[in-house]
Amino acid sequence: MLSELHGLNREHFKKNKKIFNHFFKEYPEEIQKITLKKGEYLVQENERYKGVFFINKGIAIKEVLLKNGKAQGFRLTNEFEFIGTTALTGLFRSPYDIRSLTDMECYKLSDTLLNQIISEYPTYLYEGIQVDSYINYQRMKFHTGKVEERIIYNIIELAEHFGEKINNNVLLPNIITQELLAILSSTTREYVARIIAALKSVQILDTKKRNIIINDIGKLGNLIY
């Protein structure tokens, strides 16, 4: 399942890059380059409509502010992904923050260009909505479950999007920290550390420097699916 989803994700973002490169060449005046330093916001929650962006380099986290004042992360963005809000969806304020976890290079699309993309790729928005709906469904599925299930689910999902296969193992980039897993899983870094230690004790996971290494993705998935 991991390899299948990993392949689909890669193909999806390759298609995004191809679409962007085509329109960047045809309409360079309709695209604005934006660079962000780590920790800066591309969009903030409840900010008025800002449009659609293409992420060329870097990773950001989508998060909302809870009533207790803590941030709840729910998704990391990918390179070669279109993100943001469009007037066509009826959203005129951003429903979440988009905060950079690394230095980023993004491009803002004008409304004219966005309409042109949609006219040439009529299923473009539909596909994006379907992807978000699937992700939201999966998160709802684990939201009320045990905390350890949420942590394991997030490790698997991050492996699908960002993991690097090395022999039979999957290496997560060092941007995937215990603190980040805690934000995505609605728990504390200490609890994440306990779960990772337990998974290391049965050789399902390992850690090296700041990287999490998945030794057996199948066994990890069997713990929750």
Same domain, 83 and 158: no
Q: In whole angstroms, what is the distance from residue 205 CA to residue 217 CA?
A: 9
Whether residues 42 and 122 share a domain: the answer is yes
**Alpha-helical segments (H) within 59-123:** 111-120
* Residues 13 and 118 occupy one common structural domain: yes
> Under a CB-based contact definition with an 8 Å cutoff, are residues 162 and 8 in contact?
no
Element (DSSP H or E) covering residue 109: strand 104-109
Q: How far apart are CA 138 and CA 204, in angstroms?
A: 22
Boundary-marking domain end, from 85, 116, 141: 141
At 73-88, the pLDDT tens digits run: 888 888 888 887 654 4
Tell me, yes or no, whether 172 and 68 share the same domain: no
Q: Calculate the average pLDDT of the chain.
A: 82
Residues 119 and 185 in one domain: no
Q: Which structural domain, as residue segments, surrounds residue 175?
A: 146-222
Q: What angle do CA 9, 72, 100 make, to 5 degrees?
A: 60
* Residue 91: pLDDT band with limits 50, 70, 90: low
Same domain, yes or no: 120 and 192: no
Domain boundary among 141, 175, 207: 141
pLDDT exceeds cutoff 80 at 130: no
Which residues touch 133 (CB under 8 Å, ≥6 apart)? none
Residue 82 and residue 50 in contact, taking contact as beta carbons nearer than 8 Å = no
Residues 123 and 217 in one domain: no
High-pLDDT (> 70) share of the chain, %: 81
Per residue in 106-128, pLDDT (tens digit) is: 999 888 888 888 788 766 655 55
**141-184 pLDDT tens trace:** 545 568 888 899 889 888 888 888 888 899 999 899 999 999 88
Same domain, 122 and 211: no
192 shares a domain with 214 = yes
